[in-house]
């Protein structure tokens, strides 16, 4: 087989490479010409897959090593008989841990104590549910809203109005434009105006969930604060919006080594089922349990695993290097993003903080 893949995917040789030639390309640059004789296309969220890319191509399977599918025209793929798969939950630990670290840093910068905040979560799925548990382990008061889950009978959920009355609102929903619960501009001008003064809005889901001009207006008039990992019109982000938020990172919340490995393994299993292959993927590479330093405080461990301040500084430095341009391209930062491991790979000294184990750190 000929397999075209986003170069940022991990474990390609150990999985798909067993069944054919893997051609690695930049995700945003994959074109129709690259797929002329390709049997398989493997992407991440930056490649839009549909008629424009695949019409007339030989591709029989599309795999996206991501939790979301808004970049895939799944209806068109199914109409053409092209099998597709994604990897729901693959980076849920990474994204929820990073969201926690973003909230932690934002609270520090705003002079607040996380334990004293009432946090609202919009979307209690793979990521939102994990974040809720992490926040509760730290003693925060958490309320979650998820209309689809509520309709399915999931207990313990509140309505949107209740969540919108909290001190911190963290968004964890897919980007959708149809169905009973569309999420594009879920936080638009009207809802943003209704939030109480001083609310911190955190978004690690998709940039289109929030109306950017309306958010910028609320940030500039001092009514709201924001911590953003995702942005409208990526990879180009608006310089004014970047300067207005208190924490800014370049869409890397889910960029842990473990999350990327899980994404590849998830779609590899679907690939094997599609082509009736018996291939078994090699076990993901994990850091040695004894490797690395032992951190004396929970904050040190959190910062080591999720270096939000470093990522924030790198993004703002990119803006400083190109003054007056009006936009910043986040792709170079994502492509060159250093390896990052999840809480389970980080060691905290016993007795340093009783909450470390509850968050998933190794306590030694």
DSSP, collapsed to helix, strand or coil, labels residue 106 as helix
Interatomic CA distance for residues 142 and 164, integer angstroms: 12
Residue with tokens 């591709």: 59
Residue 174 is predicted with a pLDDT of 93
Is the pLDDT assigned to residue 154 strictly greater than 90?
A: yes
pLDDT at 289: 47
Rounded-to-integer distance, Cα 205 and Cα 185, Å? 12
> 193-223: per-residue pLDDT in tens?
999 999 999 999 999 999 999 999 999 999 9
84 three-state secondary structure: strand
**Cα–Cα distance, 202 to 81 (Å, whole number):** 39
For the stretch 105-120, pLDDT in tens is: 999 999 999 989 999 9
User: Nearest Cα to 97, choosing from 318, 253, 266, 235?
Assistant: 253
**Tokens encoding 134:** 């992490």
Neighbours of 3 (CB within 10 A): 23
For the segment 300-347, what is each residue's pLDDT rounded down to a tens digit? Answer: 999 999 999 999 999 999 999 887 788 999 999 999 999 999 999 999
Give the model's pLDDT for residue 338: 95
Cβ neighbors of 152 (< 8 A, separation 6 or more) are none
Closest residue by Cα to residue 345 from 364, 326, 319: 364
pTM value > 0.85: yes
Residue of 353 and 49 predicted with greater confidence: 49
Return the half-sphere exposure (C-beta side, CA atoms, 13 A cut-off) of residue 175: 20
Q: What is the pLDDT of residue 286?
A: 57
- In percent, how much of the chain has pLDDT > 70? 96
Q: What pLDDT shows up at residue 54?
A: 97
SS3 state at 304: helix
User: Beta strands 236-238 and 327-329: pairing type?
Assistant: antiparallel
Catalytic residues: 206, 234, 251
Residue 288: pLDDT band (50, 70, 90) is: very low
Q: Is the pLDDT of residue 284 over 80?
A: no
Q: Which long-range contacts (CB under 8 A, 24 or more apart) does 174-179 make?
A: 174/68, 174/69, 174/70, 174/205, 174/206, 175/68, 175/70, 175/205, 175/206, 175/208, 175/209, 176/70
Q: Give the contacts of 280 (CB within 8 A, at least 6 positions apart).
A: none
- What is the pLDDT confidence band of residue 278, given thresholds at 50, 70 and 90? confident
Query: Domains of the chain, with CATH numbers?
Result: 2-86+256-274 (3.40.50.720), 92-248 (3.40.50.720), 294-363 (3.30.1370)
Euclidean distance between CA atoms 209 and 364, whole angstroms: 41
Compute the mean pLDDT over every residue in the chain, rounded to the nearest whole number: 94
Q: Each residue of 249-277: pLDDT tens digit?
A: 999 999 999 999 999 999 999 999 999 99
Surface-to-core class of residue 91, CB atoms within 10 Å of its CB (0-12 exposed, 13-18 middle, 19+ buried) = buried
pLDDT (average), residues 231-256: 96
Q: How many other C-beta atoms can be found within 10 angstroms of the C-beta atom of residue 150?
A: 16
Q: Pick the range with the lowest mean pLDDT from 64-73, 77-86, 160-169, 349-358.
A: 349-358
Placement of tokens 């999350």 in the chain: 259
Could you report the per-residue pLDDT of 18-35, keeping only the tens digit for each? 999 999 999 999 999 999
Q: Are 181 and 166 in contact (CB under 8 A)?
A: no
């Amino acid at each position: 087989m000929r397999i075209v893949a986003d170069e940022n995917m991990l474990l390609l040789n150990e999985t798909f490479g067993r069944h054919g030639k893997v051609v690695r390309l930049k995700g945003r640059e994959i074109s129709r010409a690259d797929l002329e004789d390709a049997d398989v296309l493997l992407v991440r969220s930056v490649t839009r897959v549909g008629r424009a890319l695949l019409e007339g191509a030989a591709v029989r399977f599309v795999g996206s090593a991501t939790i979301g599918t808004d970049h895939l025209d799944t209806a068109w793929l199914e109409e053409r008989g092209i099998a597709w798969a994604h990897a729901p939950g693959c980076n849920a630990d990474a994204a929820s841990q990073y969201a926690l670290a973003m909230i932690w840093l934002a609270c520090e910068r705003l002079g607040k104590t996380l334990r004293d905040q009432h946090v609202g979560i919009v979307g209690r799925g793979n990521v939102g549910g994990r974040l809720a548990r992490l926040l509760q382990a730290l003693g925060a008061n958490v309320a979650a809203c998820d209309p689809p889950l509520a309709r399915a009978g999931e207990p313990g959920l509140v309505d949107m109005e209740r969540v919108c009355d909290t001190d911190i609102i963290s968004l964890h929903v897919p980007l959708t434009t149809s169905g009973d619960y569309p999420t594009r501009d879920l936080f638009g001008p009207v809802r943003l105006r209704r939030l109480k003064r001083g609310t911190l809005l955190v978004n690690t889901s998709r940039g289109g969930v929030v109306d950017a001009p309306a958010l910028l207006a609320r940030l500039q008039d001092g009514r709201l604060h924001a911590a953003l990992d995702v942005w409208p019109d990526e990879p180009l982000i608006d310089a004014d919006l970047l300067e207005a938020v208190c924490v800014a990172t370049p869409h890397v919340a889910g960029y842990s080594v473990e999350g990327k490995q899980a994404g590849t393994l998830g779609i590899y299993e679907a690939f094997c089922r599609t082509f009736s292959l018996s291939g078994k993927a090699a076990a993901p590479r994990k850091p040695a349990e004894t490797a690395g330093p032992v951190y004396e405080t929970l904050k040190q461990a959190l910062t080591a695993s999720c270096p939000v301040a470093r990522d924030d500084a790198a993004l703002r430095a990119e803006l400083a290097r190109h003054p007056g341009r009006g936009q910043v391209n986040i792709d170079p930062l994502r492509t060159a993003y250093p390896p990052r491991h999840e809480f389970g790979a980080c060691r905290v000294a016993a007795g340093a903080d009783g909450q470390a184990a509850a968050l998933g750190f190794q306590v030694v």
